[in-house]
A and B are shown apart, each in its own frame.
Chain A
Amino acid sequence: MSTKNFRPFNLKKTIRPGETIIQSLLFVAGVLSIMITITLVYELGKEALLFFNNPDVTLAKFFGTTEWQPGIGKYGIWPLVTSTLITSFIAMLIALPLGLAAALYLSEYASPKVRSILKPILEILAGIPTVVYGFFALLFVTPILQSIMGKDNISVYNMLSAGLVMGIMILPLISSMSEDAFSAVPRPLREGAYAMGATKLETSLQVVLPAALSGIGAAVILGISRAIGETMIVAVAAGSGPNFTLNPFEAAETMTGNIARISGGDLSYGSIDYTSLFAIALMLFLVTLVLNLISQYVVQRFREQYE
C-alpha cells in the first residue's frame, strides 16, 4: 500500500496586483460620478445664492408672486413652474398609456418576428433630434390643433402641442424600459396564470403588469425627468415669455425654455438676469427631485415583488 504524499499547505497572503489595480480604478470611477454631481449642485447653489442675496429678491416674492421679469424687479417663479408642469403632464398623459400598451404588445402578444421589426422602429423615435420634434410640434401639430379647435381658441405657440409632441418623444423610452421590465417577469409566473385558465389579457394585466411595476416605475421616473428637462421642443413650440396660466391652449414659457432664451441673449456676469438663470435651474432640480421621490414612493407602495 502506498502512502499518499501531502503537499504542504502554504496559506500566506498573496498580493495580486491586477486585482488591486482594477479595484482602485472602479473605485475612482464611482467617486468621480459622485464628485461631478456634488460639483454641479455646488455651482448651481453658489450662483443661485447670488440671486437670492440681492436685496430686492425675497423668498416671499419668489414663491408668492406670479410674474417673472427679473430685469424689472418681478421675481415670481410660478409662471415658469406651472408651464413646465403642464407640458410635462400632457407629455406623460400621452407617453405612459401608449408606452405601456406598446410594451405589453411587444412583450406579451407580438411574435418574435414582429417584435424584431417593431422594436427598432420604435427606438428610432428616440434618436430624432429634439429640435426636429420642436418644429414638428410648431409646424405640424399646432396647425392640426388649430383646424380642430379654431384659430381663435388656441395660439400659435401653445403648451398643448409642445406637450403632445414631448409625449411622442418620451414614448420609446417608456415602452423600451417597460418592455424590459415585462420580459424580466419570470416565465413560470405566466405559466401559473395560464394554467389557472387565465386569458392572455388577464395574465398580462393582472399578473405580469403588477410584477413588473418596479421596472415601470423606473421608466416613469426617467420619463418625467426627461419631460421636465426637455428644452428644445418647448423653446420652439410652447412660447417665449413667462405667462401664468393653467390653460394649455395658451403660450407659456417653461423653466428650461426661459433659461435657453435668456442665456442666448447678451448677459453680463453677475447681473440679475444672469443669476436668475441659476435660481431657475435650482428650482428645476428641486421639482425633478420631488417628482422622483413621489414616483419612487408610489412604486414602493404598489409594487408586487416576485422573490
Chain B
Amino acid sequence: MENNVEPEYAIVTNDLSIHYGSYTAVKGVNVKVEKQKITAIIGPSGCGKSTLLRSFNRMNDFVPNCRVTGELLLQGQNLYSKDVDPVEARRRIGMVFQKPNPFPKSIYENIAWGARINGFKGNMDELVEQSLRGAALWEEVKDLLQKSAYELSGGQQQRLCIARTIAIQPEIILMDEPASALDPISTLRIEELMQELKKNYTIIIVTHNMQQAARASDYTAMMMIDDQRSGGVIEFDDTKKIFTRPKDKRTEDYVTGRFG
C-alpha cells in the first residue's frame, strides 16, 4: 500500500472544516500532528477547540446537523471517506473527556469492558493491572478493584478514564481539557502521566490553561474566531516558539495574557 503521508505524522488535516447547518464552526484547518508528541490546542472560549478535537475521532457524528468537509488523514486514509467505519476508528483513537466519566461499574469492569468489546482475548487481570499502572493509579486502587468507580476522587476517576483508554491500545489519545475539573495536585499528576504516555502514544490535548500547554506540550495550535464567528488555527508551531516568539500578533496577545 502506498502512503501519501510521511510516517512520522499521526494526523494530517487538509482544509478541514466543521459545519453545523449553515454555520461554520471551524474553518480551514491545516495541521500535521507528529507521532509520539504532545500537541496542545489553545485559544479563547468558543473558538472551536473542542469541536476540532471531537472531529478527530468522529464524536461529532452524534451531533445532529454536523457536517465535516476537507480531509483528515490517518496514515493516508481519510477518516471522513464514506467507507470508514467510525466505530473502528474510535478503537484506534481514544478520548479522555473534560469531566471524568467512568462507567457505573466496578473499577475493574471500567477497564475490562472496553477491552472485551474490542475483542481482547488475553489475560484480563494482567491487562487491568498494566493499564492501571500505565495511568499511575494501580497502587491506589489495587485493593479496591471491585468497588464502584464512583468511590474514587475526581483525579483518580480521570486517571481511571485514561487507564481504560490505554487498555484498548489506541494509537492516538485525545484529551479534552482533562484537568479542568481537577485540583492542582491531580492536574500535575495528569501532566506527568502525559509525559509518560507520549513514549507510546500520540497525544492531542485541548487546554484552557496556558501554563499547562507551555509546560506539557511539544507543539501548540493557536485557535481564534474570525468575524463570522468561525474558529480556525491561526498559528501552529513548536510550543517554545508559540510562547516566546509567536508570529501572529493575536497569539502574542493571548499567550501573554493580554486578552482571552
Which residues of chain A have a CB within 8 Å of any CB of chain B?
112, 186, 188-199, 202, 206-207, 210-211, 304-307
- Tell me if B104 and A196 are in contact (CB < 8 A): no
- What are 20 A-B interface contacts by the 8 Å CB criterion? A186-B101, A188-B99, A188-B101, A189-B101, A191-B97, A194-B62, A195-B94, A196-B165, A197-B88, A197-B118, A198-B114, A198-B117, A199-B87, A206-B113, A207-B103, A207-B104, A304-B103, A304-B148, A305-B150, A307-B150
Q: Given the complex, which residues of B lie within 8 Å of A188, measured CB to CB?
A: 97, 99, 101
* Chain B residues, CB < 8 A from A199: 87, 117
Known A-B contacts A112-B64, A202-B117; the reply to A196 vs B168 at CB < 8 A is: yes
Interface centre among A112, A190, A195, A206 (most CB of B within 10 A): A195
From the candidates A190, A195, A305, name the one contacting B104 in the complex (CB within 8 A).
A305
Q: Would you list which residues of chain B between 79 and 119 have a CB under 8 Å from chain A? A: 87-88, 90-92, 94-95, 97, 99, 101-105, 113-114, 117-118
B161 is an interface residue with CB less than 8 A from chain A: yes
Cα A206 to Cα B87 with chains together (Å): 16
Q: SS class of chain A's interface: helix, strand, loop or mixed?
A: helix
Report Cα–Cα, A197/B95, bound state, in Å: 10
Whether A305 touches B88, Cβ cut-off 8 Å, given contacts A192-B161, A202-B117, is: no
List the A side residues contacting B103 at CB < 8 Å.
189, 192-193, 207, 211, 304
Whether a CB of chain A sits under 8 angstroms from the CB of B57 is: yes
Q: Is the CB of B90 within 8 A of A195?
A: yes
Residue of B nearest to A111 (CB): B64
Are B114 and A197 touching (Cβ within 8 A)?
Answer: yes
B159 touches A (CB below 8 Å): no
Q: Tell me the complex Cα distance, A211–B102, Å.
A: 12
Give Cα distance in the complex from A193 to B87, angstroms: 11
Whole-angstrom distance between the Cβ of A199 and the nearest chain B Cβ: 5
Given A191-B62, A202-B117, A306-B150, answer yes or no on A197-B104 (Cβ-Cβ < 8 Å): no
B37 within 8 A of A: no
Tell me, in angstroms, the Cα distance from A191 to B99 when the chains sit together.
11
**Interchain CB contact (< 8 A) of A197 among B97, B102, B105, B168:** B168
Q: Tell me, yes or no, whether B144 is within 8 Å of chain A by CB.
A: no
**CB-CB < 8 A to B150: which residues of A?**
305-307
**In the complex, which residue of chain A has the Cβ closest to the Cβ of B170?**
A197
Q: With a 10 A CB-CB cut-off, give which of B59, B114, B118 has the most chain A CB atoms.
A: B114
**Chain A nearest Cβ from B61, distance in angstroms:** 8
The interface residues of chain A lying within 8 Å CB-to-CB of B165 are 195-196
The distance from the CB of A240 to the nearest CB of chain B, in whole angstroms, is: 48
Given contact pairs A191-B97, A198-B117, a sample of 8 additional A-B residue pairs in the complex whose CB atoms are under 8 Å apart: A193-B103, A194-B62, A195-B90, A195-B97, A197-B88, A198-B87, A304-B148, A305-B104
Q: Are A191 and B59 in contact (CB under 8 A)?
A: yes
- Interface residues in B124-167 (C-beta closer than 8 Å to A): 148, 150, 161, 164-165
Contact of A305 among B97, B148, B168 (CB under 8 A): B148
Q: A306 to B99, Cβ gap below 8 A?
A: no
- Ranked 7 nearest A-B pairs via Cβ: A197-B91, A304-B104, A195-B95, A196-B114, A188-B101, A192-B101, A197-B90
Chain A residue numbers with a CB within 8 Å of B92 are: 197
Closest residue to B119 on the A side, CB-wise?
A197
A191 contact from B101, B113, B114, B117, Cβ within 8 A: B101
A192 to B59, CA, bound (A): 10
Most buried by B among A192, A193, A198: A192
